[in-house]
Amino acid sequence: MKSKSSSSRHPLAGKRMTGAEMIIQVLAQEGVDTVFGYTGGAILPTYDAIFRYNLEHQSSPSEQVQLIVPANEQGAGFMAAGYARASGKVGVFIVTSGPGATNSVTPIRDSMADSVPVVLICGQVARGAIGTDAFQEAPVFNLMSSCAKHVFLIEEPEDLEITVRTAFGIARSGRPGPVVIDVPKDVQNWEGIFKGEGVIHFQGYESRMTALAKSRLTEQECKDFYDLLQQCERPLICAGGGIISGDAAPQLREFSRLFQIPVVTTLMGIGSIDTTDRLSLHMLGMHGMAYANYAVMDCDFLITVGARFDDRVAGKVQEFAPKARFFAHIDIDAAEIGKVKSVTWFHIGSARQALSDLLQHRKDFQKDFSKWIEHIDNLKKQHVRNYDRESQTIQPPQVLECLNEITSGEAIVCTGVGQHQMWAAQYLDFRNPRSLITSGSMGTMGFGLPAAIGAQMAFPDRLVIDVDGDGSMRMNLGELETATTYGLPVKILVLNNQGDGMVRQWQRLYFGNRFSGSDKSLRQKDFVKTAEADGFVFSTRLTDKSRLKETLKKFVEFQGPAFLEVMVDPEACVYPMVGPGMGYQEMITGDFIVGREPGKDAFDRSTKKSDAF
């Protein structure tokens, strides 16, 4: 392994220190201000190094590395992910060997699935004990290799410093993802000379990253794109999580506005475009807006940027965007091009740079898409999101509509997974990128609360709300205490429908109302008392629909951590819904959203100059 020299010399270069001290020095050098984690025997030297490092920097608190100790290691991982998703920086968590490492598998896989840059530092038994089934030993390298972007096992102490530094580069470069470093305890205790510089060279990876950094759209490629755009009448942009992770929202918004092309987003792409913008169609897919899905059915050119046509979006792939004559795809990961959907035009590279290149090479391109925009406006009016507004019970969408009036789309919202997650995505506005933090691909229940804590650590002065369900809240309930321990003003809103609502919805639709394992109405958990026991001064249960707005306002405006449980209609379902393996034409809109008549296609008559435009 070779190291790469740097022109700036670290002030501690040449100093003798332990491996654990080197780890902390590199974290500080990488700009890490917060780490999340739970200690244990095999990681004790590193935790001791954090303590001593902060002691040395007592006079400069801003230079300290704040340590947040959760209830368990899964919570630590989701906190690091929430921090990373909200800030765009690499999140860091540090755990011990054995169960500490195995408890971290889920957040690592979750981060990999959603392209989130985190670094996990695991303690490991001493090198001489590896493979002997020593106390709290686990095969971290084997377990994590199939879940992470990259995994390191430190076998030579001299490689520790450059390995930690390299991990950050891998985590944040290209398509971001989680990197795991397994550090034996004797390597943490080893003493050596701190170099203050250097990384490990991976020739193939570096070549790919260099190529991506240099990847630009040529004038001819831009001309080819605009030739396709010139031939179409109904272009539609599908923006995914790559817009968020690639910081490409400003370019996307400029591109959309300039050419007047409407935008649908995936769940991970929410916030790419201001959801209050006329050109925003909000989310598409299984529980996307009806009008967004109908727009996909009607478009003749789908321009996908930083999205991957996953099953919750594309559904029945062969019937996805059936009227589209052309498909364009921009993605930083070559493996995603053509993986699910064949495309007409593509580019492998940064979404930010690609959109900038297209804007730069637009030359005199002009085309009037006003009739398409009028059609989009009509779709929004005709198929507007809706629910049972006359119900005597509190409807979950009503809670979120009311919350939206208070926050005006400016809050950072984290969610668990289930119906509440979809309602939050549907009924809340998001004016800025990195405002919705949710577990997309993995769909991990228990994500919301710890992720909100991580986001709040990244932005102490912003309003952070965890919109959760009673099922997801149970998963990592112990993290309530973490919020109060560190005085974090996170707001936790639990929509309690006394069960696993999304599972029950599927059981109602596809399993003959056999609610096997999903009905929690007999459970005795008192969430309000639990929150009170964990130090929440504001901890309230709401059952009266007439007090909804005033209670939500008090909840949001409370100075400090706040917990609000709202008892909602247990029979409420999330609509629209595109069933598993079905196409958009089979979308169920429920009783309160207007759907299209079977067989009706707004563009069947378009060639006859119909009123579709």
For this structure, is 502 an active site residue? Answer: yes
Let me know: does 35 contact 76? Beta carbons within 8 Å: no
CA distances from 409 to 245, 270, 285, 404 (A): 20, 12, 22, 6
Catalytic residue among 29, 64, 136, 498: 136
**Nearest CA among 610, 612, 606 for reference residue 376:** 612
Contacts of 47 (CB under 8 A, 6+ apart): 37, 39, 67, 94
CA distances from 393 to 71, 414, 505, 550, 566 (A): 35, 25, 18, 17, 11
CA distances from 150 to 129, 163, 440, 450, 453 (A): 24, 11, 21, 24, 26
For this structure, is 390 an active site residue? Answer: no
Amino acid occupying residue 366: Q
Catalytic residue among 445, 502, 577, 587: 502
CA distances from 347 to 115, 221, 254, 334, 351 (A): 19, 9, 19, 9, 9
436 backbone dihedrals φ, ψ, rounded to 5° = -110, 120
For this structure, is 185 an active site residue? Answer: yes
C-alpha to C-alpha distance for 31 and 237, rounded to whole angstroms: 35
**Nearest CA among 579, 593, 573, 587 for reference residue 418:** 573
C-alpha to C-alpha distance for 485 and 316, rounded to whole angstroms: 47
C-alpha to C-alpha distance for 113 and 469, rounded to whole angstroms: 22
**Nearest CA among 262, 354, 372 for reference residue 305:** 354
C-alpha to C-alpha distance for 317 and 311, rounded to whole angstroms: 8
Catalytic residue among 30, 112, 161, 185: 185
Catalytic residue among 73, 137, 161, 197: 73
For this structure, is 254 an active site residue? Answer: no
Q: Give the 3-state secondary structure percentages of the chain, helix then strand then coil, rounded to 5.
A: 40, 15, 45
Which letter, b or e, does each residue of 568-602 get, where b requires 16 or more Cβ atoms within 10 Å of its Cβ? bbeebbbbbbbeeeebbbebebbeebebbeeeebb
For this structure, is 136 an active site residue? Answer: yes
Catalytically active residues, by annotation: 73, 135-136, 185, 502
